C-alpha cells in the first residue's frame, strides 16, 4: 500500500472516529456502545495501515473530538477508548494468555483513575454514588472484560469480512 493510500485511509478513519465520538456526545443513549464502536477503528487501522499511521489517526481523532465540543466523550476516547486498541495489539502480541487480562485490567484501572481525576479537575459536576467504591470498581472491571470480548469479536468480524476478503480478491486479480 502506498503512502498516499495510507494517508487517505487515515483521513477516513479519523473522520469516522470523530463522527462517532460526536454522536456519542449528542445522542441521549448508547454512549458506551458508540465509544466501543469508535475504539474498534484503531485496531482496524492497525490491521490495514500499520501502527505508525494508526497513532496519527488516534492523535488527530482525539484532538478533533475535543475541538468539536464533545469534551466528556473526547476525554474518555483520548484516555481510554482510543488508546486501548494499541494496548490490546501489543498485549495480545505477547501471546501469553496468562498475562493478557491482568495487563489489560491494569491499563483499564489506570485509565479510569486518570479519567476520574481529569474529569473532576476540568468539569464542575460532582460524581457521587450510593454504592461503595469497591462495588463500582468490581462492576466496571466486569464491564471491561465484556468490552474486551466484544471488541475482539468486532475486530475478528472486520478482519474476516473486509480485510481477508479484500486480500483474497486482490490475489485473484493478480
Give the model's confidence band at 96: pLDDT under 50 very low, under 70 low, under 90 confident, else very high.
confident
CA nearest 20: which of 44, 40, 49?
Answer: 40
- How many whole angstroms separate alpha carbon 53 and alpha carbon 48? 10
- How many whole angstroms separate alpha carbon 70 and alpha carbon 91? 29
- Give tens-digit pLDDT for 19-72: 999 999 898 888 888 999 999 999 999 999 999 999 999 999 999 999 997 788
Q: What is the mean pLDDT of residues 105-111?
A: 95
- How many whole angstroms separate alpha carbon 93 and alpha carbon 89? 6
> pLDDT over 90 for what percent of the chain?
59
Q: What is the pTM of this model?
A: 0.83
- Does residue 114 contact residue 79 with C-beta atoms inside 8 Å? yes
Residue ranges of the domains in the chain?
Answer: 3-164
Q: What is the mean pLDDT of residues 128-136?
A: 83
Angle, helices 51-67/3-26, rounded to nearest 10 degrees: 40
* Residue 117: per-residue pLDDT: 87
Using the predicted structure, report yes or no on whether residue 168 has a pLDDT greater than 90: no
* Residue 58: per-residue pLDDT: 96
Q: What is the mean pLDDT of residues 75-104?
A: 92
Amino acid at each position: 500500500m502506498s503512502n498516499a493510500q495510507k494517508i487517505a485511509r487515515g483521513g477516513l478513519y479519523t473522520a469516522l472516529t470523530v463522527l462517532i465520538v460526536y454522536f456519542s456526545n449528542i445522542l441521549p443513549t448508547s454512549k458506551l456502545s458508540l465509544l466501543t464502536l469508535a475504539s474498534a477503528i484503531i485496531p482496524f487501522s492497525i490491521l490495514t495501515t500499520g501502527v505508525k499511521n494508526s497513532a496519527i489517526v488516534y492523535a488527530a481523532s482525539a484532538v478533533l473530538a475535543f475541538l468539536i465540543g464533545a469534551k466528556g466523550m473526547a476525554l474518555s476516547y483520548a484516555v481510554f477508548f482510543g488508546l486501548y486498541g494499541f494496548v490490546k495489539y501489543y498485549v495480545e502480541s505477547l501471546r501469553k494468555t496468562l498475562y493478557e487480562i491482568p495487563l489489560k485490567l491494569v491499563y483499564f484501572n489506570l485509565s479510569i483513575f486518570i479519567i476520574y481525576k481529569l474529569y473532576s479537575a476540568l468539569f464542575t459536576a460532582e460524581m457521587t454514588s450510593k454504592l461503595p467504591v469497591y462495588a463500582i470498581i468490581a462492576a466496571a472491571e466486569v464491564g471491561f472484560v465484556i468490552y474486551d470480548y466484544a471488541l475482539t469479536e468486532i475486530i475478528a468480524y472486520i478482519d474476516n469480512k473486509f480485510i481477508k476478503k479484500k486480500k483474497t480478491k486482490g490475489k485473484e486479480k493478480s
